[in-house]
Structure 1
Amino acid sequence: MSLLLRSLNRGTLGLIGFIWFLGICFIIIDSWQFKSTTRDYLRDLAHSVLAQYSQYFHHIDGQMLKLRHQLESPLHQPHQSVVAYWNDRLNNALNYMPEVASLSVINEQGHLIAATRISAQEGQQLDVSDRAYVKYHRLHPERDELFIAEPVVSRFNGRYLVMLTRRLALPDGQFGTLVAVLNARTISQQLGAFSQNTGILISLANQRGNVISHYPFRGEMLGGPLEEEPGFASVTRQSEDLGLTLSLSFPWTRVWHTFLVKMLLTAVIGGFASIGLLLLLKQVHRQYRQRESLEEEMKTILLLVQEGVIVIDLDGRIRFANDFAVQLTGYDRSFLLRGTFARLFEPGQEAFFQRLMAVVEAGQEGVFEDVPLQCHSGRTFQAYVRVNPLKKSQATSGAVLTLDDMTDFYQRQSDLEYRAHHDPLTQLANRRYLTDWLQKRMESARWVEHCPVLFYLDLDGFKPVNDEFGHAVGDQVLKVVAQRLQHLTSSRDLVARIGGDEFVMVMADGRHSMHVKQRAEQMLHALSQPIDIEAQTHQVGASIGVCAWQSDMVTVDAWLQVADHLMYEVKRSGKGHWLLAPNHQHDAEPSVLN
């Protein structure tokens, strides 16, 4: 074999290699020029697309400004209500705003106060969505400009909606928000006209950097940050007046496809067949040598694999154990090879071993989860064991067992579940956990018979502390508040943080009104105590809405909404006290017991 390889004409191989090298150099230069041309094309296309979309949104904004002027104008008929007049104006505006799916007016608290017929039929679903645009207008009262929010999913019809908003003056002196709703898929289809089946990805983001449209349309990207696609050449352009950012991405795979095609042609012209023959001869020679040492190499691979590998026979005796299995069990390899696999089981778990050996003897594949194995140190761990039959001449001679220690996996799973149901700052239950916890207990007749009571509280005076001393001090205040609330609860109660400075306490036994009153007074007293942080004393209070469970509260949200409404009543009536929901059978109005 070696003599045959040396007999090849070295001069011919050298000439073929030189011609092939020149062809590769030409291909690299040509591909580089193609990349430069592609970037120039993307820049020109980005400028054109962004100009058209700026004009598109400016057109809609002009119509919104015209509509805002109509809404802020005095009523021509004094007896006509403002809401009726606004609803009529909004519905008429849709006739000259074909790009807009619906129009609505939202007040400073995010409540829907006027809407087109389409919005009203959606059951005010848009009212309780992100409401980032309302927050934006509240945080920037001096900036009267168009705000393009990130898309939200309509809970009425499942569509992705993009909201264009403008600040609006309300008759009561507060500000509101005029919201025009567009369909994100429609914007994406317009972007597709520029792609022209070239494979170019087009993304459009708002001034906060969140994607509002993407072509090809992918719902999971909407609302997320604008990120560069891996394997793509990207060009971005920004519109200063609207804050829009456009990103065009071209797949380099097309360049590489062209590169490979040209390389193939060059290789054929330069004598690719001769080189292929040489590689074939070398491969035959390499396989001939590898066959002699194949068994040793396989053993080496099994020793280095990052899974416990144990080979057993039909009697359960261990014939092979790799290094990871030795490390996992803590036993010496010589000790393992002198015994059976049964010695690795925790005492009293012989049934597991018998089930495993039944699969081995049947020559079948199998998977065993949570197998209790014991290390040399005495530590017990839950193992994931896969069984693969080992056969010789079509007859089963044993099995290959692969072992994985699932202890760390279960611990990570437990940590993830805890994080998903608890607030990371205060370690209290979050809204998701509160909802699940209440829903399960509301289905229990025994729990309901104890007349559970829900306390919905919002901190008074927290915002000035947060604004003056910073978020770090504000976080410490929230932690102290959480600790004080937890000290007031029993093992059957629950405290949750459901928002920025909003907390919920559930009192499991509210059959005695005196106990309910005492709990509310204790909460007010505890939260009104000074809080010392970094040599500074801070003072906060609380407004609390108290609501006992009633039989007509079929959902958790219904219960929370009643308590939330009572809390806002406390806010409007002076803060710093608590308000109890009326008994549905006796009281006609809420009562303040304190």
Structure 2
Amino acid sequence: MVVTLQELQMYRNFDELASDVLDLAKEIMPDKLIYLTSFSEKEQIILKLSNIDTSILLTEGMVINLNETVCNRVDFDENQPLIYEDIREETCPDDLRNRLEEVNINSYLGIPISLVNGGKFGTLCVAHYEESRFDEKSIKLLQRIARMFSYYLDLERFAFRDSLTELYNRHYLSKYFEDHSKTGGVIFFLDLDGFKKVNDIHGHDTGDLVLKEVALRLQTFVNEHNDAFAVRLGGDEFLIHFSQISNKEEMSKRAENILNFLSTWDSEYQLSASIGITPYPVNNNITLKTLLKNADNALYRAKAAGKNTYRFF
């Protein structure tokens, strides 16, 4: 799973450490532009530049289609850098050469930054408007800096992620609500129907596999909605948060889609889900504790209505 920009903004001292990473890299290659990027599912974000006053046409916060970036061609599987010392002389695809020339980059070095779980975070990049020579010692030093930065990222991720499913956890939800409670949104509180029987009959190891599969399906669902994220609250309780308040018809449609996602299993598992839905308005004074209580109340009524359904608070 990728690290979102929203998640990065919650990390302690992220901005300060990102600046330190660029400063260290700048000591190794003082005459070049150094920058950090992160990947989402479909886009690359330029997080931070070593200096703003440059003839290279990149800016902090720039968002680029991932399929159109040079960084997406870095070899993450083998953890190898991508090196173009002079794109006018390199045998690189014409579309890539054109994109580099558009931002006035003639030499490029991209170092992959990966997470412990194998996910791609982004890249540590070096760029210059003229041809450059990247010596092996400097490249290895930059790789060490990128690796140390990835250790920091993993430590921060663990604070906000559920260790079993890698969905967000209660701590992330609390921090999100602390920062965004006035912007409004919708909470879907989910509980699995029949999960206790899975544990009783097949054992807790199988139960854990089921929870991971549920998380995968929920993550697939939220990836289709730019305003959503999924949380494992604990046990077989999950939550989906939408930051945009849609009409009741749209919320019902989303709930039905989730129920469909979670109702198809092998015949040995008799599983489904029930959902309690509670919207909260912009500029509200409601607490997260009250919201969860309201959503739980709606969830209880969905269970009482026969399960595999949803109810609004």
Pick the TM interval, shorter chain.
Answer: 0.5 to 0.7
Larger helix proportion, structure 1 or 2?
Answer: 1
Distance in 1 separating the partners of 2:230 and 2:237:
11
Tell me which residue corresponds to 2:180: 441
TM-score, normalised via structure 2 length: 0.53
- One-letter amino acid of the structure 1 residue matched with residue 269 of structure 2: H
Tell me which residue corresponds to 2:216: 483
Deviations 1:463-522 (Å, cap 9, x if unpaired)?
000111011111111111112222222122011101100000012223222110101111
Does 1:499 pair with 2:234? yes
Does 1:422 pair with 2:182? no
Tell me which residue corresponds to 1:548: 279
Deviations 1:119-139 (Å, cap 9, x if unpaired)?
xxxxxxxxxxxxxxxxxxxxx
Deviations 1:80-114 (Å, cap 9, x if unpaired)?
xxxxxxxxxxxxxxxxxxxxxxxxxxxxxxxxxxx
- One-letter amino acid of the structure 2 residue matched with residue 560 of structure 1: L
TM-aligned CA distance change 1:526 to 1:344, over 3 Å = closer
Distance in 1 separating the partners of 2:277 and 2:311:
6
Deviation at 1:435, TM superposition (A): 1.6
| Residue from 265, 270, 285 that aligns with 1:539 | 270
Tell me which residue corresponds to 2:312: 580
Does 1:561 pair with 2:300? no
Distance in 1 separating the partners of 2:241 and 2:28:
48
Give runs of ≥4 in structure 1 deviating > 6 Å. Answer: none
TM-aligned CA distance change 1:511 to 1:502, over 3 Å = same
Deviation at 1:556, TM superposition (A): 1.9
TM-aligned CA distance change 1:381 to 1:542, over 3 Å = same
Q: Is the 8 A contact 1:529 1:539 kept in 2?
A: no
Deviations 1:23-45 (Å, cap 9, x if unpaired)?
xxxxxxxxxxxxxxxxxxxxxxx
Q: Secondary structure at the match of 2:217?
A: helix
TM-aligned CA distance change 1:564 to 1:376, over 3 Å = same
Deviation at 1:570, TM superposition (A): 2.4
Deviation at 1:428, TM superposition (A): 0.5
Distance in 2 separating the partners of 1:501 and 1:433:
18
Q: Secondary structure at the match of 1:528?
A: coil
Q: Is the 8 A contact 1:439 1:555 kept in 2?
A: no
TM-aligned CA distance change 1:343 to 1:499, over 3 Å = closer
Tell me which residue corresponds to 1:473: 206
Distance in 1 separating the partners of 2:174 and 2:229:
11
- One-letter amino acid of the structure 2 residue matched with residue 537 of structure 1: E
TM-aligned CA distance change 1:413 to 1:471, over 3 Å = same
Deviations 1:359-403 (Å, cap 9, x if unpaired)?
xxxxxxxxxxxxx9x8644427569xxxxxxxxxxxxxxxxxxxx
Q: Secondary structure at the match of 1:504?
A: strand
Tell me which residue corresponds to 2:118: none
- Please give the residue correspondences for 1:54-69 in structure 2 after superposition, counting only pairs within 5 Å: none
Distance in 1 separating the partners of 2:263 and 2:136:
57
Does 1:456 pair with 2:189? yes
- Please give the residue correspondences for 1:212-231 in structure 2 after superposition, counting only pairs within 5 Å: none
Q: Is the 8 A contact 2:187 2:241 kept in 1?
A: yes
| Residue from 385, 393, 409 that aligns with 2:148 | 409
Q: Secondary structure at the match of 1:558?
A: helix
Q: Is the 8 A contact 1:456 1:546 kept in 2?
A: yes
Q: Secondary structure at the match of 1:547?
A: strand
- One-letter amino acid of the structure 1 residue matched with residue 175 of structure 2: D
Question: How many residues are treated as equivalent by the alignment?
Answer: 187
Q: Secondary structure at the match of 2:276?
A: strand
- One-letter amino acid of the structure 2 residue matched with residue 519 of structure 1: R
Distance in 2 separating the partners of 1:479 and 1:344:
43
Which 5+ residue runs of structure 1 have no aligned equivalent? 1-341, 353-371, 384-404, 582-594
Deviations 1:143-167 (Å, cap 9, x if unpaired)?
xxxxxxxxxxxxxxxxxxxxxxxxx
TM-score, normalised via structure 1 length: 0.29
Q: Secondary structure at the match of 2:234?
A: coil
- One-letter amino acid of the structure 1 residue matched with residue 207 of structure 2: G
Q: Is the 8 A contact 2:228 2:240 kept in 1?
A: yes
Distance in 1 separating the partners of 2:27 and 2:220:
50
Distance in 2 separating the partners of 1:570 and 1:344:
60
Q: Secondary structure at the match of 1:458?
A: strand
Does 1:346 pair with 2:30? yes
TM-aligned CA distance change 1:471 to 1:496, over 3 Å = same
- Please give the residue correspondences for 1:8-407 in structure 2 after superposition, counting only pairs within 5 Å: 344-348=28-32, 376-379=136-139, 381=141, 406-407=145-146
Identity %: 33
TM-aligned CA distance change 1:553 to 1:578, over 3 Å = farther
Greater Cα radius of gyration, structure 1 or 2: 1
Q: Is the 8 A contact 2:181 2:284 kept in 1?
A: no
Deviations 1:230-269 (Å, cap 9, x if unpaired)?
xxxxxxxxxxxxxxxxxxxxxxxxxxxxxxxxxxxxxxxx
Distance in 2 separating the partners of 1:422 and 1:480:
16
Tell me which residue corresponds to 1:260: none
TM-aligned CA distance change 1:472 to 1:441, over 3 Å = same
Q: Secondary structure at the match of 1:485?
A: helix
Distance in 2 separating the partners of 1:410 and 1:465:
41
Q: Secondary structure at the match of 2:214?
A: helix
- One-letter amino acid of the structure 1 residue matched with residue 230 of structure 2: V
- One-letter amino acid of the structure 2 residue matched with residue 557 of structure 1: K
Provide the alpha-carbon RMSD of the alignment: 2.8
Higher relative contact order (CA 8 A, sep 6+): 2
Distance in 2 separating the partners of 1:380 and 1:458:
48
Q: Secondary structure at the match of 2:262?
A: helix
- One-letter amino acid of the structure 2 residue matched with residue 477 of structure 1: V
